[in-house]
Structure 1
């Protein structure tokens, strides 16, 4: 992949310096972009990786995604008889079945440049954006959105109507990360590069974003931007700095996330989910 990385970085430098655009790009440039998209779909390159215990963005990968927008013209494509206009076609899902993955009809959309692992389930209508990686054995349920460059681990359950935000720019910013064996309840929102630690269970309608504090009752500390591994998390409201006001009595409250040890009944529920999937 070092040769591909060098090609993308050189192409980015030329694009950033206004030395090349969609009108002047040639066959060599488009060959590099196609090879890059194939590497993304095959899982050979990823928008972010964990190094020394911390998730870091691969800037050149995000640059390659942006180049596919900047150096291509809008075209009209057809998907199931519906015309749409974009710079890229949707991903070719013809090989999903060979690796045990299934995407149900009538609304499941995977954009070109997204990686879908083995034994995955994508329920319609769901949307997986370019640069996202969905790990082996993961469920993307109905009405879910997996944003650009989001990294979803193995054996993850994304409950219905869950939003995983995308972080494409700036290129140095790490995207949303959901690590292995996480279960997100229906209606959860994970945004702005938040990291959900492995083996965690998150209650429905929980908002996880760096601006909302996580009260970790296990380590007895307040953290931002991450949910530690092996936690059960849910939303609670804590007092804000606003006290009595003419419009209301008793002060205002702001959302927070409370994280505790995984409880026995939660583990049993997860085991039941595994049994149903099997």
Structure 2
């Protein structure tokens, strides 16, 4: 256990036992929180990490984020000529250019405690919350929201008006995961700890949540809570169990996600292109 982790866990226990609060937190407690936030921004600690093929939450990291809300006092701050009230200032983005990242003006907000990697693009207006981790080479497009603790991989494309939900509590639950080389079409919603497997392409306006079934046509199974790697996914509607209710003349339907083999579809598209050229 690192010194920082031990300090956060000890501070969490004190907070749970009402031994410290925002009014009594002193220099030592705030120094621990400052070190923790800096580690989040540097990518040295993360709210979730892969382990044995699955993603697991780092409870102590989520505890540290909650401590920043519980042990810091809310006060007025300035951003773009507007006064807002929060426990932390917004992230310092002055070093983005040094590592090839850019955030366009007029509404792009990165909260302190969020990690933004190298060669990233954040288009305005976009919002990246505390605890989020955005990998190198990723695009966060206009009107996107990346929720607290969400883990976004490298070379990901989040289409415009995409919502990546946050999962801060309970601390033992893994947040939303979007793995490397994923492309999410405009208007997608990914919520409640859903995992989008690497190298997948998701069609516009697709809702990915553990409550909606994924019909994986590759393995020929219905799964929940994840989209396997190397899939092309899109929304379709399937018959609902309440179809026989008298109020639903003509049947009732519910949304579902259909996943097909991305590699096969890419090959077929290439073959069609070759045929057209011939």
TM-score by length of 1: 0.94
Q: After TM superposition, give the deviation of residue 244 of structure 1 in Å.
A: 3.5
Indicate how the Cα distance of structure 1 residues 128 and 267 shifts in structure 2: closer, same or farther if over 3 A, else same: farther
SS at 1:88's partner residue? Answer: coil
SS at 1:45's partner residue? Answer: coil
Specify the alignment match of 1:264 in structure 2. Answer: 266
Deviation string 1:126-146 (CA, Å, 9 cap, x unpaired) is 000000000000000000000
Q: Distance in 2 between matches of 1:48 and 1:187?
A: 25
Q: Is the 8 A contact 2:101 2:117 kept in 1?
A: yes
Q: After TM superposition, give the deviation of residue 266 of structure 1 in Å.
A: 9.5
| Structure 2 residue 90 is the aligned partner of structure 1 residue 81 | no
Q: Distance in 2 between matches of 1:266 and 1:93?
A: 43
| Structure 2 residue 111 is the aligned partner of structure 1 residue 103 | no
Indicate how the Cα distance of structure 1 residues 35 and 266 shifts in structure 2: closer, same or farther if over 3 A, else same: farther
Deviation string 1:8-47 (CA, Å, 9 cap, x unpaired) is 0000000011110011110000000000000000000000
Q: Distance in 2 between matches of 1:81 and 1:115?
A: 25
Q: After TM superposition, give the deviation of residue 243 of structure 1 in Å.
A: 2.3
Q: Distance in 2 between matches of 1:84 and 1:64?
A: 23
- 1:131-210 equivalence runs, <5 A: 131-210=131-210
Specify the alignment match of 2:242 in structure 1. Answer: 242
Q: Distance in 1 between matches of 2:207 and 2:39?
A: 32
Q: Distance in 2 between matches of 1:22 and 1:65?
A: 14
Greater Cα offset, 89-98 or 241-250 = 241-250
Indicate how the Cα distance of structure 1 residues 265 and 78 shifts in structure 2: closer, same or farther if over 3 A, else same: farther
How many residues were matched structurally?
268
Greater Cα offset, 245-254 or 72-81 = 245-254
Q: After TM superposition, give the deviation of residue 248 of structure 1 in Å.
A: 3.1
Indicate how the Cα distance of structure 1 residues 80 and 224 shifts in structure 2: closer, same or farther if over 3 A, else same: same
Specify the alignment match of 2:34 in structure 1. Answer: 34
Q: Distance in 1 between matches of 2:154 and 2:166?
A: 19
Q: Distance in 2 between matches of 1:249 and 1:259?
A: 29
Specify the alignment match of 2:8 in structure 1. Answer: 8
Specify the alignment match of 2:276 in structure 1. Answer: none
Specify the alignment match of 2:94 in structure 1. Answer: 94
Where structure 1 has 5 or more consecutive residues not aligned to the other structure, the ranges are: 269-278
Q: Distance in 2 between matches of 1:38 and 1:12?
A: 18
Indicate how the Cα distance of structure 1 residues 163 and 149 shifts in structure 2: closer, same or farther if over 3 A, else same: same
Q: After TM superposition, give the deviation of residue 162 of structure 1 in Å.
A: 0.2
- The two structures, once aligned, show a CA RMSD in angstroms of 1.3
Q: Is the 8 A contact 2:57 2:175 kept in 1?
A: yes
Q: Distance in 2 between matches of 1:196 and 1:267?
A: 23
Specify the alignment match of 1:124 in structure 2. Answer: 124
| Structure 2 residue 23 is the aligned partner of structure 1 residue 50 | no
Q: Distance in 1 between matches of 2:28 and 2:267?
A: 57
Deviation string 1:119-171 (CA, Å, 9 cap, x unpaired) is 00000000000000000000000000000000000000000000000000000
